[in-house]
Amino acid sequence: MMQLTSLCLTLVCLHLSPYSSQLFRYSTINISCGKDSSATVWKVKRRTLGGSVTSCSSGWGSSLSSSSTCVIGHTYPSDSGLYWCESDDGRQSLMANITISDKSVVLESPPGPVPEGSNVTLRCRTRTASSSERLFSFYKDGHLISSSSTAELSIYNVSTSDQGLYRCHLHQGDQSLHSLLQVQSHVFASPEGPASSCAPPAFTIIRHLLVGSPFLLSTIFMTLVHRNRNQAARNLPERTLSDDVIMEVVS
């Protein structure tokens, strides 16, 4: 199982099932928007490889429950593209990159950025049940990094050095398409199970700093200006007295 099941920002989570960047043709995808506490309406949207942007209300696939929850059955390669949640005022969630493959092997990997320091498992899956005697190889940026019969590659405490293009290859068989593993330090992805909150404390702190910084800088600037004015006012009588003395000596 993948350790992550959704992509979250401070206002909304994009939930995917299955949580994978690659799926076989005729698979079923469940996509929904985990709403925030406000009355904001979020819609599932996608951009296909052709560049067109449509919403779930356009009627994708075989089933449609609401604009914020979509079930796409019997997927085709034409369903490949970017998926996200968007509000009426244009705010967006993180985007998931999903590819529908005609190959006999797919690489199950996170469809969006994963937070630095998390654990990620990549899985090589075949259309038919795999045997323990089969050998699976994993490649990163074209270089072989692992071979085993478990069909899984676990990456613990991921860092930006783990970012790259991954693919898996079945010995004497087909190979998957490439999947991009993105690692970012400011992304929050919820663990398996229902997410308790889509707004992690780190984002709250950053938001307060961004909002409060202009006020703090303005306060410091005005304090410095006020102090300089007071200093100038105190020095003015001294300079005036000094000028008077000099004039008296000259006369």
The tens digit of pLDDT for each residue in 123-162 reads 999 988 655 568 999 999 999 999 988 899 999 999 999 9
Gap between the Cα atoms of 102 and 139, Å rounded: 20
Residue 136 and residue 214 in one domain = no
**Does residue 171 register a pLDDT over 50?**
yes
Residue 116 and residue 13 in one domain = yes
Residue 141 and residue 28 in one domain = yes
- The helix/strand/coil state of 14 is strand
- The helix/strand/coil state of 190 is strand
102 compared with 249, residue with greater pLDDT: 102
Residue 51 and residue 175 in one domain = yes
Q: How many residues does the chain have?
A: 251
Residue 142 and residue 190 in one domain = yes
Residue 229 and residue 122 in one domain = no
96 in Cβ contact with 61 (< 8 Å): no
203 compared with 63, residue with greater pLDDT: 63
Residue 221 and residue 185 in one domain = no
Residue 237 and residue 113 in one domain = no
Residue 237 and residue 173 in one domain = no
Residue 191 and residue 213 in one domain = no
The pLDDT confidence band at residue 67, using thresholds 50, 70 and 90, is low
* Structural domain boundaries enclosing 46: 4-199
Listing from the earlier edge strand, what are the strands of the sheet with 143-148? 143-148, 136-140, 164-170, 179-181
Residue 151 and residue 247 in one domain = no
The pLDDT confidence band at residue 90, using thresholds 50, 70 and 90, is confident
Residue 124 and residue 233 in one domain = no
41 in Cβ contact with 87 (< 8 Å): yes
Which residue carries 């406000």 as its tokens? Answer: 38
- The helix/strand/coil state of 170 is strand
106 in Cβ contact with 87 (< 8 Å): no
